[in-house]
């Protein structure tokens, strides 16, 4: 079984091979061939991931080592993969959801003249993401970490002829680099503290340092910076809404289902550090909860069908990060899993709508589309209900697990756990509200733009079949994580062997029930409020609400972009200009001036060369005299 698990090491290579084929020979491939090749590569990866999954289930974690990567004396980084319960689960999500999105893309990108480039980059992304989750050391993980960032940059700017798209990609890359800066420093500090960068070894060694030691907290905060960059958490969240400039399947795969959850994975993977650094862990939760709340509020005010979902993603990733920060690693990963289904579904649904409307993305011009696009509408409704937290759908279970974790996490108790719980509960309610708005404005009610409505048509089967599969997943996947007091919690048990230990208060069964009912009430309140404002009201109420200061803050996304522009971008550009002109006008000129001394010296020496023979003769006499005196002083004649 071990050997079979090792076989899964081929998964990233296959995806890479797909990327290379499409990248090098794409121009010779006709029709759907690029998409089929890419999908096959990911499908093979999915099969390998399944094999690895069952292998790990039967025989526990497996490590594969392919030799050394970096060496210098004691400093040794291996090139190896680690298959355990966490990494194989992530592999399944990446290749499973990835496969569906690849297939969907065949329909969505049909006829685009860059289709082979598209699939090459998408495959490259899958390869990098697999390396990220399979890596057994931080540097190798960083290879995948930057790799997905590069692919994200490429795919956001896929339609590069519009400079706005290219700039959105650039922004994503640069903001991610800030996070990478954190990742690098975190690795440096980790090595300083532990003398190794092997993830398992670090996790094992972390408890040997003092609980809450400053260096652990430092490492934790730096990894948080890294996670915030990749997972679009405060203060590095601004790139994700802009990233919607990419093709919609890319938004589904990279900017919803997989890449943005890398930060969650990172924190879960380094649980040994966070479990022993309560200060860092609490910071993680605070950042995450504030992000979730802020993004949920912003989502209400958006009018772009994809941007609403993008802000929703930021908010939902906030839920996940909060869970792993609180020490409920399984709950965070559980939400990664459920979110991968319903958010990918929402994006693909949105893509289907955009496809049908020929590129229209403004929800104010939509409405009533559910009647013309039955499959898209129905599946989107299921996803909406799942994310809103309607009972018995997947999002309900995972969100409930996170809320419970916040309430009961012992380390969090000293850092305002209850406040965090209330804030996140509120966010859950807002989520239900803005998702209802999203669904209602797009699919229900009366069409607001006749022309757009007339144009709409259901998408082809290659797109609707993945939607349906994802819809089924959005319903059933939650049942792997039923509340532990009701039924065996499969995912918690599955992940238990690889998760760092954090103490939780034990809730009584009645309190558990209260929690479950509470979140139902909140979801119902959110949806009900949405119904009241958007479906029942004639729009007057929505308009009146839209005039409040909170609403304008929501529309402006709390002004982060403007703030960063005046706080970082402009001063940064100024600094770069300043350094460049400093170099040109001061350093260069100064050093040139200094080197100008040399010709000056030359001219001084030239003065001796007067042309008067007798002056030369005199100099000669002086020289002989000087030599004689020197010789006498040294004692040659003695």
Partner 1 sequence: MISLYVVLLPVLIALLVLLGRSSAALVRGLAFLGGVGTFALSLFLAGSEGFQGAWLPRMGVNFSLDATGAGPVLVLVAALVMIPTLLVAATRVEQNAAGFVALLLLAQAGLNGIFLSKDLIVFYVFWEATLIPGLLLLGMFGGDKRRQAALKYLVYAVAGSMLMLVSILSLKALSGAASFHITELMIATPSLSAGVQTWLFVGMAIGMVVKLPLWPLHSWLIDLNEQNHPSGAADVLGSLYKVGAFGFFAWALPLLPAGAERVAPYLLALAAVTAVYGALAAISQQHLKRFLAYGSLSHMGIIGVGLFGLHLAGLSGAIYFLAAQMLSTGGLFLVAGMLYHRRRSFMLKDYGGLAKSAPAFAGVSLFLIFAYIGVPGLSNFPGEFMALLGAFQTSPWPAAFATLAVIAAGVYGVNLYQRLFQGPTTVPTSDLSALELYVLVPFIAGVLWLGISPAPQLRQIEQQAALVTIQLERAVDAADEVPTVTLAGLTGGEK
Partner 2 sequence: MVQTEYYVALSAVLFALGGIGVLTRRSAIMLFLSIELMLNAANLAIVAYARQWSAAGAQHALDGQAAVFIVLAIAAAEVAVGLGILVAIFRNRVSTDVDELSEVRA
Query: In angstroms, rounded to a whole number, what is the distance separating the alpha carbons of residues 305 and 199?
Result: 40
| Residue 177 or 372 with smaller CB distance to partner 1 | 177
**Chosen from partner 2, partner 1, none, partner binding at 598 (C-beta under 5 to 8 Å by type):** partner 1
Confirm or reject binding of residue 611 to partner 2 (CB under 8 A): yes
| Residue 219 or 533 with smaller CB distance to partner 1 | 219
Judge whether 436 and 388 are in contact, CB under 8 Å: yes
| Residue 612 or 637 with smaller CB distance to partner 2 | 612
In the complex, minimum distance from the CB of residue 579 to partner 1, in angstroms, rounded to a whole number: 4
Confirm or reject binding of residue 625 to partner 2 (CB under 8 A): no
Confirm or reject binding of residue 598 to partner 2 (CB under 8 A): no
| Residue count, binding to partner 2 (CB under 8 A) | 10
Give burial (CB, 10 Å; 0-12/13-18/19+) of 581.
exposed
Torsion-angle region of 539 (φ positive above 0: left; ψ -120 to 50: alpha; else: beta): left
In the complex, minimum distance from the CB of residue 635 to partner 2, in angstroms, rounded to a whole number: 22
Gyration radius (Cα) of the chain, Å: 31
Judge whether 368 and 443 are in contact, CB under 8 Å: yes
Q: Give the binding range for partner 2 (CB under 8 A) out of 32-40, 127-135, 577-585, 613-621.
A: 613-621
Residue 504 in 3-state DSSP?
Answer: strand
- Give the residue, chosen from 208, 614, 635, 638, that forms a contact with partner 2 under the rule CB under 8 A: 614
| Residue 193 or 387 with smaller CB distance to partner 1 | 193
Adjacent-strand bridge partners of 81: 64, 135
Supply the DSSP string of 61-90, one letter for each residue: -EEEEEEEEEEETTEEEEEEEEE-HHHHHH
Residue 362 in 3-state DSSP?
Answer: strand
Rounded to 5°, angle at Cα 327 from 323 and 332 = 30
**Chosen from partner 2, partner 1, none, partner binding at 621 (C-beta under 5 to 8 Å by type):** partner 2
The residue length of the chain stands at 638
| Residue 28 or 609 with smaller CB distance to partner 2 | 609
In the complex, minimum distance from the CB of residue 179 to partner 1, in angstroms, rounded to a whole number: 10
In the complex, minimum distance from the CB of residue 391 to partner 1, in angstroms, rounded to a whole number: 44
Cβ count near 327 (within 10 Å)? 28
- Give the residue, chosen from 214, 514, 521, 617, that forms a contact with partner 2 under the rule CB under 8 A: 617
| Residue 359 or 602 with smaller CB distance to partner 2 | 602
**Chosen from partner 2, partner 1, none, partner binding at 532 (C-beta under 5 to 8 Å by type):** none
| Residue 496 or 617 with smaller CB distance to partner 2 | 617
| Residue 521 or 628 with smaller CB distance to partner 2 | 628
Confirm or reject binding of residue 631 to partner 2 (CB under 8 A): no
Helix 417-443 vs helix 509-530: crossing angle, to nearest 10:
40
- Give the residue, chosen from 72, 609, 635, 637, that forms a contact with partner 2 under the rule CB under 8 A: 609
- For residue 461, how many C-alpha atoms fall within 13 Å in the half-sphere facing its CB? 0
Q: What residue spans of 259-393 are helical by DSSP H? A: 262-269, 271-275, 278-300, 305-326, 329-356, 374-388
| Residue 67 or 635 with smaller CB distance to partner 1 | 67
- Give the residue, chosen from 571, 573, 618, 629, that forms a contact with partner 2 under the rule CB under 8 A: 618
In the complex, minimum distance from the CB of residue 611 to partner 2, in angstroms, rounded to a whole number: 3
Give the binding site for partner 1 (CB under 8 A).
Answer: 23, 67-75, 79, 117, 139, 142-143, 145-147, 150, 153, 157, 160-161, 163, 166-167, 169-170, 173-174, 176-178, 180-181, 184-185, 187-189, 191-192, 572-573, 575-577, 579-580, 583, 587-588, 590-592, 595, 598
Judge whether 309 and 352 are in contact, CB under 8 Å: no
Confirm or reject binding of residue 627 to partner 2 (CB under 8 A): no
Q: Give the binding range for partner 2 (CB under 8 A) out of 324-332, 354-362, 460-468, 608-616.
A: 608-616
Adjacent-strand bridge partners of 78: 68
b (16+ CB within 10 A) / e for 298-308 = bbbbbebbbbb
Confirm or reject binding of residue 606 to partner 2 (CB under 8 A): yes
**Chosen from partner 1, partner 2, none, partner binding at 613 (C-beta under 5 to 8 Å by type):** partner 2
**Chosen from partner 2, partner 1, none, partner binding at 395 (C-beta under 5 to 8 Å by type):** none
| Residue 461 or 576 with smaller CB distance to partner 1 | 576
Question: Which residues 6+ apart lie within 8 Å of 235 measured at CB?
Answer: 228, 560
Rounded to 5°, angle at Cα 289 from 401 and 411 = 65
Adjacent-strand bridge partners of 124: none
Residue 458 in 3-state DSSP?
Answer: coil
**Chosen from partner 2, partner 1, none, partner binding at 526 (C-beta under 5 to 8 Å by type):** none
In the complex, minimum distance from the CB of residue 349 to partner 1, in angstroms, rounded to a whole number: 30
**Chosen from partner 1, partner 2, none, partner binding at 609 (C-beta under 5 to 8 Å by type):** partner 2
Q: Give the binding range for partner 2 (CB under 8 A) out of 89-97, 247-255, 440-448, 616-624.
A: 616-624
Confirm or reject binding of residue 610 to partner 2 (CB under 8 A): yes
Determine the distance from the C-alpha atom of residue 8 to the mean position of all C-alpha atoms in its chain, rounded to a whole number: 24
Residue with tokens 């929703």, as numbered in its chain: 312
**Chosen from partner 1, partner 2, none, partner binding at 618 (C-beta under 5 to 8 Å by type):** partner 2
In the complex, minimum distance from the CB of residue 596 to partner 2, in angstroms, rounded to a whole number: 19
Query: In angstroms, rounded to a whole number, what is the distance separating the alpha carbons of residues 55 and 17?
Result: 25
How large is the greatest C-alpha to C-alpha distance in the chain, in angstroms? 120
Query: In angstroms, rounded to a whole number, what is the distance separating the alpha carbons of residues 319 and 332?
Result: 7
Query: In angstroms, rounded to a whole number, what is the distance separating the alpha carbons of residues 448 and 445?
Result: 9
**Chosen from partner 2, partner 1, none, partner binding at 617 (C-beta under 5 to 8 Å by type):** partner 2
Rounded to 5°, angle at Cα 407 from 403 and 412 = 115
In the complex, minimum distance from the CB of residue 38 to partner 1, in angstroms, rounded to a whole number: 17
**Chosen from partner 1, partner 2, none, partner binding at 583 (C-beta under 5 to 8 Å by type):** partner 1
Give burial (CB, 10 Å; 0-12/13-18/19+) of 114.
middle
Judge whether 256 and 315 are in contact, CB under 8 Å: no
In the complex, minimum distance from the CB of residue 637 to partner 2, in angstroms, rounded to a whole number: 15
**Chosen from partner 1, partner 2, none, partner binding at 573 (C-beta under 5 to 8 Å by type):** partner 1
Contact positions toward partner 2, by CB under 8 A? 606, 609-614, 617-618, 621
């Amino acid at each position: 079984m071990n050997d079979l698990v090792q076989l899964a090491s081929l998964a990233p290579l296959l995806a890479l091979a797909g990327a290379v084929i499409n990248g090098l020979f794409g121009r010779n491939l006709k029709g759907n061939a690029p998409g089929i090749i890419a999908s096959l590569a990911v499908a093979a990866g999915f099969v390998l991931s399944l094999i690895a999954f069952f292998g790990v289930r039967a025989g526990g974690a497996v490590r594969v080592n392919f030799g050394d990567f970096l060496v210098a004396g004691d400093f040794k980084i291996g090139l190896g993969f680690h298959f355990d319960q966490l990494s194989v689960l992530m592999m399944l999500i990446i290749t499973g959801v990835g496969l569906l999105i690849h297939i969907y893309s065949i329909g969505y990108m049909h006829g685009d003249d860059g289709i082979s480039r598209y699939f090459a980059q998408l495959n490259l992304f899958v390869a990098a993401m697999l390396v990220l989750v399979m890596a057994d050391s931080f540097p190798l993980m960083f290879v995948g970490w930057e790799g997905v960032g590069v692919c994200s940059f490429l795919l956001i700017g896929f339609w590069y002829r519009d400079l706005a798209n290219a700039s959105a990609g650039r922004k994503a890359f640069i903001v991610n680099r800030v996070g990478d800066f954190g990742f690098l420093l975190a690795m440096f500090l980790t090595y300083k503290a532990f003398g190794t960068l092997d993830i398992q070894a670090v996790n094992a060694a972390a408890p040997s340092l003092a609980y809450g030691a400053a260096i652990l907290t430092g490492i934790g905060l730096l990894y948080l910076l890294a996670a915030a960059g990749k997972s679009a958490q405060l203060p590095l969240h601004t790139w994700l809404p802009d990233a919607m400039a990419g093709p919609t399947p890319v938004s589904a795969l990279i900017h919803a289902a997989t890449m943005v959850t890398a930060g969650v994975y990172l924190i879960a993977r380094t649980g040994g550090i966070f479990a022993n650094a309560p200060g860092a862990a609490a910071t993680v939760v605070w950042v995450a909860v504030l992000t979730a709340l802020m993004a949920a509020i912003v989502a209400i005010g958006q009018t772009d069908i994809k941007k609403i979902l993008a802000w929703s993603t930021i908010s939902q990733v906030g839920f996940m990060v909060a869970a792993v920060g609180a020490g409920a690693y399984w709950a965070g990963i559980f939400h990664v899993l459920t979110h991968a289904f319903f958010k990918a579904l929402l994006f693909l649904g949105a893509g289907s709508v955009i496809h049908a409307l020929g590129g229209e993305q403004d929800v104010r011009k939509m409405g009533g589309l559910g009647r013309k696009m039955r499959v898209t509408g129905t599946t989107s409704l299921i996803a909406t209900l799942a994310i809103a937290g309607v009972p018995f759908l997947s999002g309900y279970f995972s969100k409930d697990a996170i809320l419970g974790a916040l309430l009961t996490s012992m380390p969090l108790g000293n850092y305002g756990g209850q406040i965090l719980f209330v804030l996140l509960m509120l966010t859950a309610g807002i989520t239900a509200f803005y998702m209802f708005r999203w669904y209602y404005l797009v699919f229900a009610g009366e069409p607001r733009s006749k022309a757009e409505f007339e144009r709409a048509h259901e998408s082809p089967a290659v797109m609707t079949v993945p939607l349906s599969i994802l819809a089924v997943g959005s319903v059933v996947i939650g049942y792997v994580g039923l509340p532990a007091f009701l039924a065996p919690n499969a995912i918690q048990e599955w992940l238990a062997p690889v998760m760092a230990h954090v103490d939780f208060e034990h809730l009584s069964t009645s309190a558990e029930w209260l929690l479950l009912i509470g979140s139902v009430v909140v979801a119902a309140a959110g949806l009900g409020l949405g119904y009241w404002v958007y479906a029942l009201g004639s729009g007057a109420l929505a308009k009146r609400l839209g005039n409040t200061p909170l609403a304008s803050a929501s529309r402006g996304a709390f002004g982060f972009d403007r703030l960063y522009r005046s706080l970082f971008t402009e001063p940064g550009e100024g600094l770069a200009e300043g350094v460049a002109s400093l170099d040109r006008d001061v350093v260069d000129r100064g050093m040139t001036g200094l080197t100008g001394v040399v010709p000056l010296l030359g001219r001084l020496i030239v003065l001796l060369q007067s042309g008067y023979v007798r002056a030369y003769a005199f100099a000669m006499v002086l020289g002989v005299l000087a030599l004689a005196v020197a010789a006498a002083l040294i004692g040659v004649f003695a």
